[in-house]
Structure 1
Amino acid sequence: MDSAPSPSLPATEEPAYRVFLDSLDYLSPADVDRVKEAYAFSARAHANQKRMSGEPYITHPLAVAGAMVEWRMDGEAVAAALLHDVLEDTGTTKRELVNRFGREVAELVDGLSKLDKMEFASYQEAQAENFRKMLMAMARDLRVVLIKLADRQHNLQTMAAMRPDKRRRIALETLEIYAPIALRLGLNKLYRELQDTSFRLIHPHRAEVLGKALFAARGNRSELLTRIQDAIIGKLAAAGLNAEVFGREKSLYSIYRKMRDKQLSFSQVLDIYGFRVVVDNVPMCYLALGALHALYKPVPGKFKDYIAIPKANGYQSLHTTLIGPYGTPVEVQIRTQEMHHVAQEGVAAHWLYKDTEESGADLQIKTHKWLQSLLEMQSSDSAEFFENVKIDLFPDEVYVFTPKGKIMAMPRGATIVDFAYNVHTDVGHHCSAARINQDLVPLRTELRNGDMVEIITSPQASPNPVWLNYVKTGRARSKIRHFLRTMQNEESARLGERLLRQELLTLGVVPISIPTEAWDQLVKSSGQKSIEELYTDIGLGKRLPSVVARRLLAREDMSADSPSNMALAIHGTEGMAIQLARCCQPIPGDPIIGSIRKGSGLVIHTHDCPTIRKSRSTEPQKWIDVEWEPEEGKLFDIRIKVEVKNTRGVLAQVASAIAEAGSNIEHVAMDSDPERLFTLLRFTIQVAHRNHLAAVMRGLRHIPEVTRIVRERGGEV
């Protein structure tokens, strides 16, 4: 019977440590000495700590370091794995680690340490900030994430002593974040292990039932499996190909997910037989493919060549689906030994097989590029960053081409706008149109495998808030939001300056005559850092210009609610700081009034807009007089209703009359009456000003079939 090691025994005599030392034979003597010192340091630091299972705490760092050794990681990574919890759980400082083990090991350990000493409003906020720190450390050094994933793997394997709610929370987080990271880095073996272990922790009963069913099914399937495998081996041998052939088992979680997502029965999921064929070189992959297509008929549309176009995580294989005996679908993956190593170990293959394999280094470069793109995605909001990165972690990809033939991998569902931002931030910001396979398409068009995408840019184009409704990648979403926030602040600052200037002129004060000290005092008393920030607050409606003017002039006699009696001139093209209300859609020539709405800036309505009637009487201080200062070339949306007799070709006549009047049709809808005598056409058209609208209406009245024309009012504010 085994007994626990005595505390009096030196740590180096523990059996697990002896086995660990024996596996370090690939490291240099200097690295082995550093690893031994790291173990001794970690064992002393955690000497009085136990895991929840009752085991000495040192067993956990030792297990994580063991995973690093399996991947043949370098001495720094193994030492950092042994020390990965000393900053977080003991009194050790980063400076101590630098002095003892060097800056590189200390940086790795620091990148892995949580932010426990910081206060957060919620678990979600802490999780988001910890995740951000880990990814930033990953971007600097890829070994951080490999240690972190090994740490998470061992924690999941030893969670029996934890509370069920905590087990479930950590397992869900693993499925949502850490397993996708493992897949994104090509660590397929680890990815499946993390998924299956998490599944067992979240749904123990389902996992048990499914596991028993799978065990029973394997016995029932063994005869057909052997028959297919023997046929494949015989066909490849007859073709003179040296190949390893083995069955590919589905993981427990992948079976469960297919059953849940596709509403399939257990037998339907198990009906597909999977095989892997490993050959010596790339030409043999294609020869093997030909041989198998001669053995069994291939399923049309089910062939994928990931050798010519590798996945973003470095994965390469030929995939084909065949119709086997009794009509059984047979999925086959064909790859070289080198590709198989990368498929199993992903980015870790760079260390595992660096003497014989160059693709690991290529994969590491690709991974670094992805991690660097995360750095560009940062925002002040950790939760937003967390969501953006989660979007990018699921690599169900499509492969598209630039006009120069460069292949780009995009997430499935990505649009033209995502592609533009993936090329360059400036290309995204100034994207105005696009062609797919030479045809002009809308910017919201989703990309498909093999598309050739050309972006058309314009110096005048800028991001549209509507893009946020359909972009897929975190990078595009982050860049658009940052641009819109910056633009809104800049435009709001300009509007705020104009509003304050107008208020001062109303009071008979020329802004330039106010001493600098008064402006400085105003900024200080408002709690802002600069006058620009104060202007932004006014433009966003967070401060009333009349109140700010009173404070600036130290005029206590002035009422805070007194509206200005001088009209503010607007063009209607100022951007996000000045918005034209959608309920009444004002156009140049309409009598207008402006409302300062908190967070939105100045919203312009027509004087007779029915949606503002109550607010104008109850909150007069929020309304200011506004007048048009028309700008050449700008078109404004307006809604009109046209009632017509229900005759053939009438819609074409109406559309032609609108076009002849120099107006664009943005949208059209039709309502017929039950007796089908008349049809009500609802148009959204673009006009330059009120006189232009009148000209459009005159043109429509000349059509005999038109019985009534009305400019539409009311609706959405």
Structure 2
Amino acid sequence: MSLTPTDSTPSATPSNNRATSVRSSSKPDAAQPALHSGVATFTHLTHKLEEYLTPSELKKVKEAYRFSDEMHLGQMRKSGEPYISHPLAVAEICADWKLDAQAMMAALLHDVMEDQGVKKEELIERFGAPVAALVDGLSKLDKIEFQSQIEAQAENFRKMLLAMARDVRVILIKLADRLHNMRTLGSMPPEKKRRIARETMEVYVPIAHRLGLNNIYRELQELSFSHLYPLRHKTLLKAVKAARGNRREVVTKILESVTSTLIAAGIPAQVDGREKTLYGIYRKMRNKHLSFSQVLDVYGFRVVVDSFANCYVALGTLHSLFKPMPGKFKDYISIPKLNGYQSLHTTLIGPYGTPVEFQIRTHDMHRVAESGVAAHWLYKDDEGNLTDLQQRTHAWLQSLLDIQKQTGDSAEFLEHVKVDLFPDSVYVFTPKSKIIALPRGATALDFAYNIHTDIGDQTTSVVINHEHAPLRTELHNGDIVEIITSPSSRPSPNWLSYVRTGKARSAIRHRLRTVNLAESQALGKRLLTNALTALGVDADLPTAVVERLLNESSAKTLDELYADIGIGTRMAPLVARHIIGLQENGSNALPLLDIEGHVVPGKPDPVVINGNEGSAVQLAQCCQPIPGDRLCGQLKHDQALIVHTEDCETAKRNREKEPERWIEVIWGNEINRRFECRITILAHNEKGTLARIAAEIGEADANIVTVSMDDEGDRTMKHLRFTILVDGRVHLARTMRGIRSVDSVTRILRERN
């Protein structure tokens, strides 16, 4: 028996003729995605389309191909191939999903507006309004002038996502487009490779995951990893290949044991051995600080059964064969993921003490797991089984439109959407036992806004698991949440500092802008006047400066800018510094910096912060600044300030990209709150160690926010990770001295980046 590590595609019809079969495939694994061999041809595409399109539909697709071929005639790709090969390759990927004729036409035409200047009206006349709308949703806004590449990118994404919200085929074609571009990225310069790969990892990979397109998700993730970190990818690939031979005996033994056990139990099943993706292995090594040799579960197994009930029967059978690892079982069948994914996950202790992960699902679940929303087209006969998935997708797409209505700025819109694309989720319950899925880290206030915007706006308190709790309380799996409201309650600017979801953030900002608008404008005007006066600048600004300020801040009027300052989404001292830069440096938005990034003498003093400025000032999570740290600040395009420590590696990288957007920041003297700080402790795994460390933290008058412990590695030593609340560096140093006094502690450090 041979095993090829693979994520194989299910057959359209479950095979019930045999009890159990072990499947192997020559299809390449997602860990090493194979490039399409040769240039795509319309003949090959036609063979695929003939399987499911009618002759009249195929005729329309051929017309679209001829038009696209004519428009791209003479245009070449960076690799030297005729450009038409790209639309053909995109169309082939869409044909694998069996997308309809309109989508296939749009896939072939997706670049004619952007590259060849074809007007939307011409496409409407030739191919109809639906096809033209799809192509328009896929085209960038190259004809509009933007202040920066970031602003242009944000507006392009907003256009694409809103088009997707109206018709999900837009994003399916776009993902196919991005997949082929990533497969053929080799001819691009290294810097452009990294930029495109980073964009793919940050936006397109989460979208593919959110829509349940797991095959595309894994391949895009793997290709992005290979271009972002080529040396790490190469080293890890070599290590995996070397380990395959050593582990094949273990994998074969597990497959044989599982196969014979399921046959004996009379459970019809297909068992696949699959290798985890390189990026999945790399992420586990990085997050858990493991070496490659410590990552034991490189292989996983998938068991596909014929019925819902047999999923649980197969689970019990496997648990009788191998011992399950405590805390490593997840039931995504009873509570599906946001993208509709359903499976049972369990980790068992296999031969030689090796942990082995199993996924158990039905054939229908497998179709959805691999194709997500595309399964709507791929398996039209089974449409009734996908109603819940379609409803989930529709609800998320509708939330994009809701955010758009409440958000005027493209960068802000993209920020909200990125938050909601965060893949990890928690599942909580309403008092009536309805399940609500939220991003990990979501608070009770996010829950309120998820139910309805009006409920969020009128929230006064929250009851979690029958006990009153603060609105900022982070929710966990299984929490029962009840929201208490009052018609007289209104959102507070402070809410923006701890809500997690884009829907909640955009709704709060929208409400703050529209309610008590006059008071917010008056307060903002007074704060800006005071900030300008303190810097020796006349508050009566010249018209030219006002115009440039509004143009660069995305505010439409000066009153709107005042309102933003009044509700705390912009910081008056930062806007004042921005104005000085406009007055003194013409079009430059910020004070001049020297070669080391410091403000040139004679310019305004550093910005003073106390840590309670609200959403206008955000303390970076990568380095978690605390009072006493030397600071630097990155001024975002909406005048919000991201504060880092001077030695933060993330700050250093970002400073190299946009040095003109960095300013000096110092701590003020009126600090009246505590700050989160991460510490890592290496200690002997002895009885009472955790209790003694916690006692020392309490003795130092520091509060514990979270604590975690490594569950792998040497049993005699453990890494303990604490997030604690401290007043500043002096308080942190005193706390760490107390922890060092515990005999079993061998090392302690402040964790950053």
Q: 1:460 & 1:31 partners in 2: Cα distance?
A: 58
Deviation at 1:417, TM superposition (A): 0.4
* Cα distance change, pair 277–40 in 1 and its aligned pair in 2 (3 A): same
Q: Is the aligned partner of 1:22 residue 2:61?
A: no
Q: 2:564 & 2:177 partners in 1: Cα distance?
A: 47
Counterpart of 2:507 (choices 449, 474, 479) is 479
Which letter maps to 1:481? R
Structure 2 portions without partners, runs of 5+: 1-38, 527-549, 574-613, 615-638, 640-671, 673-726, 728-753
Corresponding residue for residue 106 of structure 1: 132
Q: Is the aligned partner of 1:412 residue 2:437?
A: no
Partner SS state of residue 20, structure 1: helix
Deviation at 1:452, TM superposition (A): 1.0
Q: 2:558 & 2:210 partners in 1: Cα distance?
A: 46
* Cα distance change, pair 131–443 in 1 and its aligned pair in 2 (3 A): same
Deviation at 1:91, TM superposition (A): 2.7
Q: Is the aligned partner of 1:458 residue 2:486?
A: yes
Corresponding residue for residue 374 of structure 1: 400
Q: Is the aligned partner of 1:245 residue 2:266?
A: no
Which letter maps to 1:141? D
Corresponding residue for residue 37 of structure 1: 63
Deviation at 1:273, TM superposition (A): 3.8
Q: Is the aligned partner of 1:212 residue 2:199?
A: no
* Cα distance change, pair 72–489 in 1 and its aligned pair in 2 (3 A): same
Deviation at 1:93, TM superposition (A): 0.8
Which letter maps to 1:458? S
Matches within 5 A, 1:284-299: 284-299=310-325
Deviation at 1:495, TM superposition (A): 7.7
Deviation at 1:216, TM superposition (A): 1.3
Deviations 1:95-138 (A, max 9, x none): 11111111111100000000011111111111110000000000
Deviation at 1:201, TM superposition (A): 1.3
Deviation at 1:248, TM superposition (A): 2.4
Corresponding residue for residue 53 of structure 1: 79
* Cα distance change, pair 113–531 in 1 and its aligned pair in 2 (3 A): closer
Which letter maps to 2:96? E
Which letter maps to 1:100? R
Q: 2:135 & 2:260 partners in 1: Cα distance?
A: 52
Corresponding residue for residue 384 of structure 1: 412
Q: 2:566 & 2:441 partners in 1: Cα distance?
A: 37
Deviations 1:274-295 (A, max 9, x none): 1100000101101101111111
Q: 2:417 & 2:524 partners in 1: Cα distance?
A: 35
* Cα distance change, pair 410–492 in 1 and its aligned pair in 2 (3 A): closer
How many residues are matched? 508
Deviations 1:613-636 (A, max 9, x none): xxxxxxxxxxxxxxxxxxxxxxxx
Partner SS state of residue 57, structure 1: coil
Matches within 5 A, 1:114-263: 114-263=140-289
Q: 2:377 & 2:247 partners in 1: Cα distance?
A: 38
Structure 1 portions without partners, runs of 5+: 1-13, 499-526, 543-575, 577-598, 600-638, 640-668, 670-717
Matches within 5 A, 1:434-453: 434-453=462-481
Matches within 5 A, 1:438-587: 438-487=466-515, 489-492=517-520
* Cα distance change, pair 327–185 in 1 and its aligned pair in 2 (3 A): same
Corresponding residue for residue 14 of structure 2: none
Q: 1:534 & 1:181 partners in 2: Cα distance?
A: 33
Q: 2:558 & 2:143 partners in 1: Cα distance?
A: 36
Which letter maps to 2:47? D
Q: Is the aligned partner of 1:339 residue 2:384?
A: no
Between 1:78-87 and 1:326-335, the stretch displaced more is 326-335
- Does structure 2 conserve the Cα–Cα contact (< 8 Å) formed by 1:272 and 1:331? no
* Cα distance change, pair 539–203 in 1 and its aligned pair in 2 (3 A): closer
- Does structure 2 conserve the Cα–Cα contact (< 8 Å) formed by 1:434 and 1:454? yes
* Cα distance change, pair 494–229 in 1 and its aligned pair in 2 (3 A): same
* Cα distance change, pair 534–249 in 1 and its aligned pair in 2 (3 A): closer
Deviation at 1:479, TM superposition (A): 1.2
Q: Is the aligned partner of 1:349 residue 2:360?
A: no
Q: Is the aligned partner of 1:397 residue 2:425?
A: yes
* Cα distance change, pair 458–55 in 1 and its aligned pair in 2 (3 A): same
Deviations 1:251-275 (A, max 9, x none): 1111112212221111222445411
Q: 2:565 & 2:159 partners in 1: Cα distance?
A: 36
Corresponding residue for residue 389 of structure 2: 363
Which letter maps to 2:457? H
Which letter maps to 1:392? D
Corresponding residue for residue 688 of structure 2: none
Q: 1:493 & 1:439 partners in 2: Cα distance?
A: 39
Which letter maps to 1:88? E
Deviation at 1:494, TM superposition (A): 7.5
Q: 1:539 & 1:179 partners in 2: Cα distance?
A: 37
Counterpart of 1:67 (choices 93, 111, 128) is 93
Q: CA RMSD in A?
A: 2.9
- Does structure 1 conserve the Cα–Cα contact (< 8 Å) formed by 2:332 and 2:343? yes
* Cα distance change, pair 471–24 in 1 and its aligned pair in 2 (3 A): same
Q: 2:414 & 2:563 partners in 1: Cα distance?
A: 28
Deviation at 1:394, TM superposition (A): 1.4
Deviation at 1:536, TM superposition (A): 7.3
Deviation at 1:490, TM superposition (A): 2.9
Work out which structure has the larger RCO, using CA pairs closer than 8 Å and 6 or more positions apart in sequence: 2
Deviation at 1:529, TM superposition (A): 11
Q: 2:185 & 2:269 partners in 1: Cα distance?
A: 41
- Does structure 1 conserve the Cα–Cα contact (< 8 Å) formed by 2:297 and 2:357? no
- Does structure 2 conserve the Cα–Cα contact (< 8 Å) formed by 1:296 and 1:324? yes
Deviations 1:194-226 (A, max 9, x none): 011111112222211111111111111000001
Between 1:322-331 and 1:164-173, the stretch displaced more is 322-331
Which letter maps to 1:64? V
Give the alignment's TM-score, normalised by structure 1: 0.67
Q: 2:109 & 2:322 partners in 1: Cα distance?
A: 54
Q: 1:319 & 1:84 partners in 2: Cα distance?
A: 39
Partner SS state of residue 224, structure 1: helix
* Cα distance change, pair 28–456 in 1 and its aligned pair in 2 (3 A): same
Between 1:262-271 and 1:110-119, the stretch displaced more is 262-271
Partner SS state of residue 117, structure 2: coil
- Does structure 2 conserve the Cα–Cα contact (< 8 Å) formed by 1:273 and 1:329? no
